[in-house]
Amino acid sequence: MPDLKPKIDLKTGEFAFALELIEGANLIQVEAESSFGPVAKETRIVHYQTVGIKDPETKSGINPIYYAIGILCFLALILIFAISNLVKKK
């Protein structure tokens, strides 16, 4: 395994390092040495799920707000037509 070059917080003793994960479950086991004594072996299972990134240019479909605006305009035209017919009859 390559040298991971961990970043160590000297105040808390916590450390972090970057790993390349595969999709699904990843078993990570860490063994560390310290000048102050033995360090407990850490074992973790990390679940990694890739997220697809959708290109905004390929976005298909019409925004639902535009459907609502279209329906309201259509209803307004019908209302105007009905009112104009009522005015003509009087």
Domains of the chain, residue spans: 7-48, 62-89
- At residue 2, the pLDDT reads 58
Residue ranges in the chain whose pLDDT is less than 70 = 1-2, 53-60, 90
Distance CA 32, CA 29 (A): 10
Q: Classify each residue of 46-60 as buried b or exposed e, where b means 16 or more C-beta atoms within 10 Å of its C-beta.
A: eeeeeeeeeeeeeee
What is the pTM for the complete model shown? 0.42
- At residue 76, the pLDDT reads 96
Distance CA 46, CA 28 (A): 7
The four Cα atoms 46, 47, 53, 59 give a dihedral, to 10 degrees, of -150
> Could you tell me if 15 and 7 are in contact, meaning their C-beta atoms sit under 8 angstroms apart?
yes
